[in-house]
Amino acid sequence: TGVRDQSLVAITSGANCTFDRLRLLAERALLGQRSEALFATRMKDEPGAMLRLYGAIAPRNVTELVYRSSGTSQGKATIFVSVELTGVKEGMRVPQERAEEEVAEVIDNLRKVEITASDLSSNELAKSHMRYMSGGSKPESGELLYRFEFPEQPGALKKFLELFNKHPSWNMTLLHYRYRGAEVSKVLTGIHVPEGERPAFDDFLAELGYHYVDETNNLVYQEFCD
């Protein structure tokens, strides 16, 4: 251009990046810079197991959790869970060595509560497909499907699990949670509540205090989730 002795600023435009692609870019960036780790866990499919999983991961933030009951009383559940590593500094990459140490620590903590785990942060099949295909089919009867809005703040998932765990006769059959960076996270749950305990379940919803929608009769659920 012939310009000399002047300060110039180069601008990289994002005009070719649509909003539809931003979530993918952000998700892959978290895994790529090792601020988030993706695990596949295997544990006995029984009441209280989810809270045990959460306790082994804490105080780290759970950013995604995908679970579907195996449908058998003595079955094993495969749960995909993404965890924010505590070495994260805003806007900075977590050192690889520190990230690997923390991943190993999480796996060891899970092992201590009889949960096996594998780090799938670099597994393309897991990142693109398998994390959305976890679990078995819908129970034959008795499952309630509820969609919640969790406040996007530390402890929101823990509160839900702790209140739920006060009712040992209830069984969680599905849980899909993903941190979205908004004011609330949309969470889908499947819950089996024995006959006669619906009033107690209503009390649970009131005590929880999160916005919810009963999706049990939703056509999509009824027709496509068998």
Instruction: Quick: pLDDT tens for 21-33.
Output: 666 566 655 555 5
Distance of CA 146 to the CA centre of its chain: 16
pLDDT for the residue 185: 86
Residue bearing the bigger pLDDT, 214 or 182? 214
Find the angle CA(182)-CA(187)-CA(190) to the nearest 5 degrees.
180
What number is the average pLDDT over the span 154-180?
Answer: 89
What was the pLDDT predicted at 14? 59
Tokens of residue 120, six digits: 């799938």
Distance from C-alpha of 44 to C-alpha of 82, rounded to nearest angstrom: 19
Q: What tokens does 32 get?
A: 């790529």
- For 81-94, the pLDDT digits (tens) are 999 887 655 445 56
Q: What's the pTM?
A: 0.72
Residue 1 has pLDDT above 70, yes or no: no
The pLDDT value recorded for residue 39 is: 94
Which of 25-39, 54-68, 105-119, 211-225 shows the lowest per-residue confidence on average (mean pLDDT)?
A: 25-39
**Best-predicted range by mean pLDDT among 63-72, 178-187, 194-203?**
194-203
The verdict on whether omega for the bond into residue 151 sits within 30 degrees of 0, i.e. cis, is no
Burial degree of 92 (CB within 10 A; 0-12, 13-18, 19+): exposed
